């Protein structure tokens, strides 16, 4: 899979985002204070994936309804749009990178007896070496398309239907294969029914089964345990344990007396330890290594972790981004306290008059970083990081 396969994102009128145009790297860090809108950018991508995997109506409801997701200031919006540029590798075309774009616009629908939303427009364009595959819909009517004409219900998307055609299937798989994580320590600790083969859930569901699956890949399990041990000194690793009809996690640790190995159940682990395990599971889980997951998004991976261990997580994010595209949000300067971070992977996020602004670092910050006068963490502590055009 070429990285990054998701190269550019344009969002209009989603929550606090009035408009943004953001390019992405194999590893992209969204940096900004609490409440600036980092989560809203990630939620917009999750909304796009959900709308394609289920339906726009289900996605709107799952994300809180139109009243929650449509921009409210300076005046209420009546429609939102999300568009992405992609670079997709096709299995039967190993030497060809297919460039393309996909976007949708969804608005309120006031017609009696119909769903309260409609797909105003949807488009897709894929540029192959010798041909272009594309379609465009306007209020359910298929227009300007390389596919035979027709229509769909006005509250539906056409890409799921088009995905049955070989040229559109990989794009569909990439877009629905994005995984988004806002990990919760309580969920990660919770014993649950065994579900072999499951990917890690949004809040950390299925962590025990992910660990069980990792055990069948010695190299991946070794990297997981090594990173966990580096972040939490004394820990040897984390494994799946069985408790009757349920599974949970078990931590192996060395004691100071005789260096004996002891084990602890999930309730014996700190929030920082169990969250670190969740982050590492998200990055190295089998569904990532098999290509089932095309992008991993993690909100505040360093949360509840000792500042000295934040650098370990950055190394894990970097290593994982060699195999899967990674986006992480953070408001912690500790994660950025190093002089080897490429400023090109940073997207600064701020809030201006209630609207989120996202962009590459301003020129002054980039100059300071390239000269290694300060680290990103030091600039963040001094409130010196700003997107282009806002300083």
325 in the same domain as 279: no
Quick: pLDDT tens for 340-371: 889 999 999 999 999 999 999 999 998 988 88
- Does 328 fall in a domain? yes
273, 292, 311 - which closes a domain: 292
N- to C-terminal Cα distance for the chain?
A: 37
List the 6-14 sheet strands across, edge first.
Answer: 17-23, 6-14, 79-90, 93-108, 117-127, 132-138, 141-143
Q: What is the C-alpha to C-alpha distance for residues 131 and 321, in angstroms, rounded to an integer?
A: 31
What span, in angstroms and rounded, lies between the C-alpha atoms of 100 and 94? Answer: 17
The answer to whether position 182 is within a domain reads: no
Residues 25 and 35 placed together within one structural domain of the fold: yes
Answer yes or no: do 325 and 384 share one domain. Answer: yes
Does residue 194 sit within a domain? yes
* Domain end marker among 245, 276, 292: 292
pTM for the full predicted model:
0.95
CATH of the domain at 380: 3.40.50.300
In the chain, the number of structural domains is 2
Position 361 in a domain: yes
pLDDT value at residue 391: 56
**Nearest Cα to 301, choosing from 337, 270, 331?**
331
- Is residue 183 a part of any domain in this protein? no
Domain finish residue from 269, 292, 315: 292
H or E element, residue 110 = none
The reply to whether 319 and 358 lie within a common domain is yes
Tokens of 375: 């680290």
Same domain for 123 and 260, yes or no, is no
The whole domain housing 384 covers 1-177+294-391
pLDDT mean across residues, the chain: 92
Give how far the C-alpha of residue 236 lies from the chain's centroid of Cα atoms, to the nearest Å: 28
Instruction: Encode pLDDT of 201-249 as tens digits.
Output: 999 999 999 999 999 999 999 999 999 999 998 899 999 999 888 999 9
DSSP state of 128: -
Q: Per-residue pLDDT tens for 162-188? A: 999 889 999 999 999 999 999 999 999
User: Rg for the chain (alpha carbons), in Å?
Assistant: 22
Which residue is listed with tokens 């997709």? Answer: 88
* Same domain, yes or no: 19 and 162: yes
* In-domain check, residue 67: yes
Nearest C-alpha neighbor of 277 from the set 311, 316, 241: 316
Q: How far apart are CA 253 and CA 237, in angstroms?
A: 7
Same domain (yes/no): 101, 54: yes
Give the Cα separation of 156 and 56 in Å (integer).
7
Residues 140 and 33 in one domain: yes
pLDDT per residue as tens digits for the range 82-117: 999 999 988 766 667 899 999 999 999 877 767 889
- What is the pLDDT at residue 92? 62
DSSP 51-65: HHHS-HHHHHHHTT-
Are 57 and 205 within one domain? no
Cα(338)–Cα(326) distance, integer angstroms = 19
Co-location of 243 and 309 in the same domain: no
Tokens found for residue 29: 């860090």
Element housing 266 (H / E): none
321: left (phi over 0), alpha (psi -120 to 50) or beta: alpha
The verdict on 151 and 208 lying in the same domain is: no
Q: Specify whether 156 is located in the same domain as 266.
A: no
What stretch of H or E contains 346? strand 346-352
């Amino acid at each position: 899979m070429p990285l990054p396969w998701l190269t550019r994102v344009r969002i209009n009128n989603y929550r606090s985002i009035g408009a943004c145009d953001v390019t992405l790297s194999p590893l992209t860090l969204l940096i900004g204070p609490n409440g600036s809108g980092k989560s809203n950018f990630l939620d917009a991508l999750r909304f796009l994936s959900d709308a394609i995997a289920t339906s726009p109506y289900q996605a709107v409801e799952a994300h809180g309804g139109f009243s929650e997701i449509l921009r409210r200031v300076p005046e209420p919006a009546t429609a939102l749009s999300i568009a992405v540029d992609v670079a997709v590798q096709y299995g039967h075309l190993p030497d060809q990178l297919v460039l393309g774009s996909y976007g949708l616009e969804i608005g309120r629908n006031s017609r009696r007896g119909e769903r309260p939303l409609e797909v105003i427009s949807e488009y897709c364009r894929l540029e192959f070496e010798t041909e272009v595959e594309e379609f465009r819909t306007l209020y359910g009517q298929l227009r300007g398309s390389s596919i035979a004409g027709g229509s769909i219900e006005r509250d539906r998307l056409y890409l799921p239907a088009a995905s049955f055609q070989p040229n559109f299937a990989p794009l569909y798989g990439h877009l629905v294969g994005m995984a988004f994580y806002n990990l919760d320590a309580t969920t990660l600790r919770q014993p649950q029914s065994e579900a072999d083969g499951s990917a890690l859930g949004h809040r950390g569901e299925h962590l025990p089964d992910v660990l069980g699956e990792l055990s069948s890949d010695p190299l991946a399990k070794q990297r997981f345990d090594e990173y966990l041990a580096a972040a939490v000194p004394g820990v040897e690793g984390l494994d799946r344990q069985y408790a009757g009809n349920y599974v949970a996690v078990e931590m192996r640790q060395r004691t100071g007396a005789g260096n004996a190995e002891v084990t602890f159940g999930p309730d014996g682990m700190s929030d920082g330890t169990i969250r670190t395990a969740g982050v590492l599971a998200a990055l190295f889980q089998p569904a990532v290594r098999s290509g089932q997951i095309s992008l991993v998004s993690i909100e505040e991976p360093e949360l509840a972790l000792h500042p000295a261990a934040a650098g370990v997580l950055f190394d894990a994010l970097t290593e994982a981004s060699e195999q899967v595209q990674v986006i992480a949000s953070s408001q912690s300067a500790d994660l950025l306290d190093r002089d080897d971070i490429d400023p090109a992977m940073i997207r600064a996020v701020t809030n201006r008059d209630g609207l989120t602004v996202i962009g590459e670092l301003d020129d002054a910050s980039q100059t300071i970083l390239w000269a290694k006068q300060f680290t990103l963490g030091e600039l963040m502590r001094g409130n010196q990081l700003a997107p282009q055009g806002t300083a």
